[in-house]
Chains A and B, each alone.
Chain A
Amino acid sequence: MKKLQVLGLGLFIVGLSIFSYLPFIGQYQLEETMVEAEVKSEHQEVMLSILRPMFGETYQINFQFISDLNRLIDAHNDDLKIREAWDEVIWDDYSFPLTKAAANTPISDYPLAYFSLSVLLAIFGAMLYIVPLYRGEPEGIKNNGIYFSSMKSRGLLGIITGTYLILFYVLLYWFPAYIANLVIMVDPLSKALSGQEASQWFLYGLLYTLAILVMGIRMFRKYKGNMYQTIRTASVMFFQLAFAFLIPEILILLNKPWHDFKNIWPLDYSFFYDYRLEGMVSSGALGMFMLVWGIVLIVIGVPLLTYFYGKRWYCSWVCGCGGLAETLGDPYRQLSDKTLKAWKVERYLVHGVLVFAVLMTAVTLANYFMEFGLLGQATNQLHSIYGFAIGAAFAGVVGTGFYPLMGNRVWCRFGCPLAAYLGIVQRFKSRFRITTNGGQCISCGNCSTYCEMGIDVRWYAQRGQNIVRASCVGCGVCSAVCPRGVLKLENGTEDGRINDMPIIIGNKSVQVKS
């Protein structure tokens, strides 16, 4: 490692440490005016009275503040629950906005300075490390030492990284109050983009996009000379930056509903939720376009593009989850489980989630049009179960937090309902396949090892069979790492695509049907 790279790594760690420390600095002081500003009008009176003991009190650390806040609100709610006064219970979670408002930290005064010291410093360090990677080395596969690396082979560093990511996701989804300081830090940026104060989701989107951009540059270095990888990576970087991050913010600035034009139901599971439909329907021509565009993508875009190119057009070229997996997750791709058992689990799980998403949406739509009371309750129930179990726990905590433990495509493989839909099209009606090159396979196993979807590519390659699998996201890495030029992702005619009785070229005496 060059000195500059060591320095870069050091700066990255310093930046990350500061970032991780920031949530705990500053003082917290709740004022009545804050409650008036942040709490819905129907709750204001009660909240003012419940929270009275906290007014004027100065807290030195957020833990104490949040715990007092929650204790007071919970005590109030518990009492109501005992009396079964369900309507009066405060279901809204005010801990985040109140903590954010009450924070009195230097971050609010110098957000840019803190942003530079943490996020920008980490990025700068990462770039110092990444840009010189493989400089002066010939183009080729750069997998040396992966299985000796503690970070990349589930060693201590990998476990620490996984734990850190999991913790971050748990805070983000369920305890955002604890990271209020970080959100404050990105307020100015959010205001500049959309005119709104930042939420934890803005913070998340920002970090997500930065991760894809920085680690995308790493992909350029690592796969130098492989045009397929280079173009594909540039594509996910573009779609994340423009479609997932900038355009939605600009839409908000223009007072339009937030919308990510490349996100497709059922991955975008809330597309048919009533508030989204209302939002689109009431936003004039642009809103109508969003609605029609979304439906056209689902009904025509997905099947047509998947027919011509396979599901890769979405999963490894456009999708945000795929984008993160292919950039931030690339160092962990070899950790996916290749066993037959894992494949079985995968099929049950991913199709199960698809069925769940479809049913939930059907109930939602029925409710939207019929406005039937009982249905309304069921809809809410389903939404919260899906949102918690699939949207947050599976896609976020397991999907990304488990990168260093189970590989970079856990969500895409086991959970994503859109991947399941694309996969069904790819398996049964598509021109895409991975062709095997005659008898050239030496069964070395590089392809299977580096398949992030846990496909045992070698199983097919060594018997001369094309790989036609629902889960293949067409990342092209199996083909890249194959030392004998055996695998080629291609679109071709449908006949001969699926060969159940392949013959390996080369032996004229007998034709072995595998």
Chain B
Amino acid sequence: MSKRKIVIIGNGISGITCARNIRKNDEQADILVISGETKYFYSRTALMYIYMGHMKFEHTKPYEDWFWEKNRIDLLQAWIELVDFQQKKLICHNGDTIHYDHLILATGSKPAILDWPGKQLNGVQGLYSYQDLELMAEKTKGIKSAVVVGGGLIGIEMAEMLASRKIHVTFIVRESNFWDNVLPKEEAMLINKHIREHGIDLRLSTELDEILDDGKGNVKAIRTKNGDTVSCEFVGITIGVIPNIDFLRDTDLELGKGILVDTYFRTNLANVYAIGDCAEFRDSIGENRKKIEQVWYTGRMHGESLAHNLSSARVMPYQPGVWFNSAKFFDIEYQTYGNVPPQIEEDSETFYWEDKSGKVAIRFNYLKHSECFQGVNAFGWRLRHEFFDRAISEKWTIDRVIGQLDKSSFNPEFYKPYHRLVLDAYNKTRGKAVKFRKTSFFHKLIGSRA
């Protein structure tokens, strides 16, 4: 392959995966990854653990520093202020210019914020970048109380972070249960309870109205739309993220909410691509899939797919497989595979089981007529990705899934065998007689699942 210069803006999971995979197929290309945030790739998802003292920044780097030189991936820490698409040139914050043949935009997201009065006050911020984290560490040093606004994944992480430093947190959530625009009600309520168990003052169906000033430019309190005031020294805004594309406005690049791309990640300009959080698909990429995908795994898959297309003869459209995701709400892990909407659809049936501890729960959705399995939500229960990926793509019936639940668990050894309780509940409520296959004593003894 000819020696071409591929420049990637953004060293997050999507940009870095793309760079690594291009290098695997293409020995020749010049690959340069530029990011203003940090020189080296780190795991954004681990930011919370730095704040909580589980890790240092060093530990969040998935590759040792020598890795990049060895794989001839050049790194540059710089902010790109302008892209000259005609001249194929990037202009850095310090005035340097960089030429490219192929440009990959992987600039990620930034925190969304609404036009609340007082949003510019000292001590009000979102959490996305390493700089945000440092700022948060500085602003929350020694404080007693904080407010987190917005009940999503980053919101609950921020609440956990603050609570780990013994800061009292008031958590303001617009919805009537935590994250219930994604989670069905039972699950959302289970998490409500767990949030409160950690001493968080969770206020549901509550919206922020105004952030109040202490007269010196610092935050003093917030006022909700119900008229309550909550005094606090810090306000975390976590109402969502939006594509980080401001520096690309007023250019020839077509933008929607994000950078508009086709299923090959091509923008409207030749040799310019976009992947990860900042990309917005023009067309649907599959049933129940969003046009902007803002999770780690999809960023990785975007990177893999584009790298393939840039470094092999046969180009392929992006075709994600069965949906999956996971998160952790304080101590309760959450995994989901397939389609589990917050409100059950007309043609579907649902089976929900919750342990009496209130910390373990599982939900199966399936079609009414064919009993075809659609998706699963699990709380406090690790599930085997491979198993559910197969069950969903091969369209197993719900009975078959339940009948093999013992093989689907990914919990550590010696954990309570919840699958038996689930099987019993399923048989009882559905009038069925599904059974597990017997495991021989020898297999039990050697602890084998096979």
A and B held together in a complex: yes
Contacts of B53 in A (CB 8 A): 143-149
Query: Do A431 and B448 touch (CB < 8 A)?
Result: yes
Q: How far is the CA of A240 from the CA of B413 in the complex (A)?
A: 23
Contact of B386 among A231, A438, A445, A476 (CB under 8 A): A438
Interface-side segment among A192-200, A406-414, A479-487: A479-487
Does A227 contact B320, Cβ atoms closer than 8 Å? no
Say whether, besides A443-B43, A445-B62, A138 and B331 are in contact (CB < 8 Å): yes
Question: Which residue in B60, B318, B322 is a CB contact (below 8 Å) of A444?
Answer: B60
Do A483 and B386 touch across chains, with their CB atoms under 8 A apart?
A: no
Query: Would B308 and A480 count as touching, CB distance under 8 A?
Result: no
Cβ–Cβ contact B414 & A231, under 8 A: yes
Q: Does B363 contact A (CB under 8 A)?
A: no
A144, A485, A488: the one contacting B164 at CB < 8 Å is A144
Q: Flag A409-449 by CB within 8 Å of B: 1 or 0 each.
A: 00000000000000000000001000101111011111011
Q: Are A507 and B301 in contact (CB under 8 A)?
A: yes
Tell whether, in the assembled complex, residue A227 and residue B412 are in contact, meaning their CB atoms are under 8 Å apart: yes
Q: In whole angstroms, what is the CA distance A510 to B317 when docked?
A: 9
Q: Nearest Cβ distance between residue A205 and chain B, in whole angstroms?
A: 30
Residue on B nearest A510 in the bound complex, by CB: B308
Given contacts A440-B326, A510-B308, contact A493 B301 (CB under 8 A): no
On chain B, the residues within 8 Å of A141 by CB distance are 54, 331
Q: Give B98 Cβ to nearest chain A Cβ, in Å.
A: 27
A507/B321 in contact, CB under 8 A? yes
Contacts of A63 in B (CB 8 A): none
* B198 proximity list for chain A (CB < 8 A): 138
Q: Is B52 a contact of A491 with CB atoms below 8 Å?
A: no
A residues within 8 A CB of B43? 442-445
Are B321's CB and A489's CB within 8 A?
no
Return chain B residues, CB-CB under 8 Å to A443: 13, 43, 45-46, 62, 296
Report yes or no: A507 in contact with B331, Cβ–Cβ below 8 A. Answer: no
Task: Indicate with 1 or 0, residue by residue over B17-43, a CB within 8 angstroms of chain A CB atoms.
Answer: 000010000000000000000000001
The answer, yes or no, to whether B223 is at the interface (CB within 8 Å) is: no
Residues of chain B within 8 A of A476, CB atoms compared: 412-413
A64 on the B face (CB < 8 A): no
**Bound complex: CA A340 to CA B66 (Å):** 10
Contact of A147 (CB < 8 Å), options: B56, B328, B414: B56
Task: Give the contacting residue for A448; candidates B59, B164, B320; CB below 8 A.
Answer: B59
Contact: A484 with B21, CB < 8 Å? no
- A507 — nearest CB in chain B belongs to which residue? B301
B410 touches A139 (CB 8 A): no
Task: State how many angstroms separate the Cβ of B195 from the closest Cβ of chain A.
Answer: 11
Give the docked Cα–Cα distance between A228 and B190 (Å): 25
* Contact yes or no, B301 A506, CB < 8 A: yes
Known: A507-B301, A507-B320. Is A228-B447 also a contact (CB below 8 A)? no
* B238: interface (CB < 8 Å): no
CA distance A227 to B411 in the complex (A): 11
Q: Which residues of B contact A (CB under 8 A)?
A: 13, 21, 43, 45-46, 49, 52-56, 59-62, 64, 164, 194, 197-198, 296-297, 300-301, 304-305, 308, 316-322, 324, 326-328, 330-331, 333, 335, 359, 382-386, 389, 410-416, 446-450
Provide 8 A-B residue pairs closer than 8 Å at the C-beta atoms, listed in order of the A residue: A138-B198, A145-B53, A227-B413, A309-B446, A505-B385, A505-B386, A509-B301, A509-B320
Chain A residues near B (Cβ < 8 Å): 138-141, 143-149, 226-228, 231, 308-309, 339-340, 431, 435, 437-440, 442-446, 448-449, 458-459, 462, 476, 479-481, 483-485, 488-493, 504-510, 512
